[in-house]
Structure 1
Amino acid sequence: MSSPSGRVLDVARTHAEAAAYTIGWDLAVRLPQPLVDRAMRTTADRLYARGGSSIDRLRSNLSRAVPDATAGELDELGRDAMRSYLRYWGEVFRLPRFTADTVDDWITVDHPERVFALKAQGRGMIAALPHMGNWDLMGAWALSHGLPLMTVMERLRPERLYDEFVAFREGLGMTVLPLTGGEPTMPRLAAHLRAGGFVCLLADRDMSRSGLVVDLLGEKARMPVGPALLAQQTGAALFAATSRYEQDRLRMTVHEVVPTREGPDGLVAMAQDLADVFSAEIRRSPADWHMLQRVFEVDRLPDGGVR
């Protein structure tokens, strides 16, 4: 148990982080993009050099993606992953200034016809995403092409930071549901899908004790049951959507629809299909996998938690 002084420091730190995000958001909107890019790259290098538990976890996760990497290669990969992650933040800060044309200037999409065909059918869609590339830019692309996007967001600390992020995403046109502390999300998501809506869910990390155990990057990991369960319940099309950076653009791929299978075993099979796609894409571009939290079963806390 932390001491009273320790709890005060924790509160002060979270409010300081919120202030830093808000200031960064405000400045990045006004500064030229090259200046923002340099600042984010410098910040990424400093954070990586400083180290800490999140950096250690990032390196550990990346070692599963590149198991033959030497210590030096893993160190370089970890630094590149932090640069990719801070590049994501630099782009997020500027997204409110983007128009539909601007979004298309920043992103290349492989197989967009798969999404457009489902939209033409009036069928609901569930995109399962790993923490790769820039998922907010992917969402902005979907919105710019007329896809009514609903998502679920983990509550951030302090509440002020969470509110800022919800306002940002809603400003882009997303409908954002809180993961906790609000009405149950599954009925809202299901109704949206039955009406032909589009749901995007980050799906490579389970934050509960009810996730589905799958093979991810050659190790047992838990993925959330939500994407597969929604597909079973609503008949919506489930597919993986991934992204990675290629020089000055983001490359997004719309993968093939995952066949819907019935029952509990079907849920696991569908989640494994997603995990197979995630594994292949992470191995293709490991530096763009921004996973600084526990994922693998062997790394979970003794009580089964993930934090």
Structure 2
Amino acid sequence: MNLDPGRLLIVAARVVPRLPAWMSGAIFRTVADVATTLGIGGTHQLRRNLARAVPEASERELRRLTRKGMRSYMRYYEEALRLPAASDVQLAARVRIEGSETVRTELAAGRPVVVAVAHLGNWDLAGAWATKFLAPVVTVAEHLQPEELFQGFLAFRRSLGMTIIPLEKDGSTFRALLRACRSGAPIVPLLADRDLSRTSVDVELLGERARVAPGPAALALATGNALVTATIRYERLRGPRRQAAGSRWGVVVDFGERIDPPVGAAREEAIAAMTQRWVSEIGDFVRRYPEDWHMLQPVFVADLDPARLKPAGSVA
């Protein structure tokens, strides 16, 4: 039995905005708890992934952490469905930014910034905030099936003000990103902590071999723009900020330092080194906040199906 939050979105998008926030929050927490208890959906894989982040955890601790992780994941969806109706005041109150000096300096100078992002916290909330208060957001969305599901995701994220480029296999996606970087000064966050294509990059994540997407490093190298990492975690809101946010939860977005290519390195070597750098930053973050890493799919090579596993190849 599979729990597919993407398909659930089609139905939930029509229902959740009509419900009181306390009710929809309770429903999604229940869904998370049931999925964890019954081991449905990607909960088994989430648990295996979290075991790498907290190797010292007992079985009981790992079960509790998996439940917290699923609650965090379902909170992301419940909140995301309400985002189109959020006011600017609410967005400002829900998001707290750390380490943004490099990003703001580059954007102020009219230069785009490429951001390596993982499935952490509520990335759609961070994107909606950035569109309003930082810079135009240009990003990529995986072309999901069925088409109704994909179009639903596109419409949702575009309603938040983001420019969405569908992920295609013919190279047009990368060319569209290049044009976006050359025609303005957007911020380009790319979810890249999972990639099974021939262009994937082998990295060390949480002490194990994993495969991630080369996109952030490749785009930064091709355009000469800055590459930084952004981590996103939940935090409980209290007092005036909670009242202004209209929510019990907000997120902290922490930007890392600029990641430059090694001096004199060849292109593929530079992409590999830059990718390992942001992956290491993500790994350090996940060790501290494992419950906010929403990775319900295989990312470590040891978990991948050998029959489907393609050898990592050159970066196109």
Please state if 1:172 is matched with 2:160. yes
Range moving further from structure 2, 297-306 or 186-195 = 297-306
Go from structure 1 to structure 2 and tell me whether the alpha carbon gap of 1:50 and 1:153 turns closer, same or farther (over 3 Å shift). same
Measured after TM superposition, the shift of residue 51 of structure 1 is: 0.9
Match of 2:45 in 1: 57
Instruction: Give the letter aligned to residue 277 of structure 2.
Output: D
* Mapped pair 1:292 → 2:296: yes
After TM superposition, the structure 1 = structure 2 runs for residues 15-34 of structure 1, keeping only pairs within 5 Å, are 18=7, 20-34=8-22
Q: Partner of 1:75 in structure 2?
A: 63
Matched, 1:38 2:38: no
Match of 1:244 in 2: 233
Which residue identity does 1:167 align to in structure 2?
Answer: A
More moved, 86-95 vs 115-124 = 115-124
User: Could you tell me how far 1:100 is from its partner in structure 2?
Assistant: 2.2
Aligned to 2:243: none
What is the rounded CA distance, in whole Å, between the counterparts of 1:207 and 1:179 in structure 2? 14
Q: Could you say which residue in structure 1 is the equivalent of 2:88?
A: 100
Alignment of 1:101-250 (within 5 A): 101-180=89-168, 184-195=172-183, 196-247=185-236, 248-250=249-251
Letter of the aligned partner of 1:72 in structure 2? Answer: R
Deviation at residue 32 of structure 1 after TM alignment = 2.0
> Is residue 192–residue 198 contact of structure 1 (8 Å, CA) maintained in 2?
no
C-alpha RMSD of the superposition: 2.1
TM-score where L is the length of structure 2? 0.88
Identity of aligned residues (%): 39
Which amino acid in 2 is paired with 1:258? I
Structure 2: any 5+ residue segments left out of the alignment?
Answer: 237-248, 311-316
Q: Deviations over 1:67-89 (max 9, x none)?
A: 11111111111011000000000
CA shift for structure 1 position 246: 1.3
Q: CA deviation at 1:23?
A: 2.8
Q: How many Å apart are 1:148 and its aligned residue? A: 1.5
Aligned-pair distance for 1:230?
0.8
Corresponding pairs, count:
294
Segments of 5+ residues of structure 1 without an aligned counterpart are 1-8
| Residues 199 and 17 of structure 1, relative CA distance in 2, 3 Å threshold | closer
Contact 1:209 1:304 in 2 (8 A): no
Determine the C-alpha separation between the residues in 2 that align with 1:68 and 1:181.
40
**Number of the residue aligned with 1:4:** none
Separation (CA, whole Å) in 2 of partners of 1:87 and 1:36: 10
SS at match of 1:173: coil
Of 73-82 and 297-306, the range deviating more from structure 2: 297-306
Contact 1:154–1:179 (Cα < 8 Å) also in 2? yes
Q: Runs of 4 or more off by more than 6 Å in structure 1? A: none
State the Cα deviation string for residues 113-134 of structure 1 (Å, max 9, x = none).
3322111111111111111101
Question: Which residue of 2 is the match for residue 276 of structure 1?
Answer: 280
Please say if residues 222 and 297 of structure 1, whose CA atoms lie closer than 8 Å, have aligned partners that are also in contact: yes
CA distance in structure 2 between the aligned counterparts of 1:181 and 1:125, rounded to whole angstroms: 24
Q: Distance in 2 between matches of 1:31 and 1:182?
A: 42
Q: How far 1:183 sits from its partner (Å)?
A: 6.6
State the Cα deviation string for residues 25-46 of structure 1 (Å, max 9, x = none): 1222122222221111111101
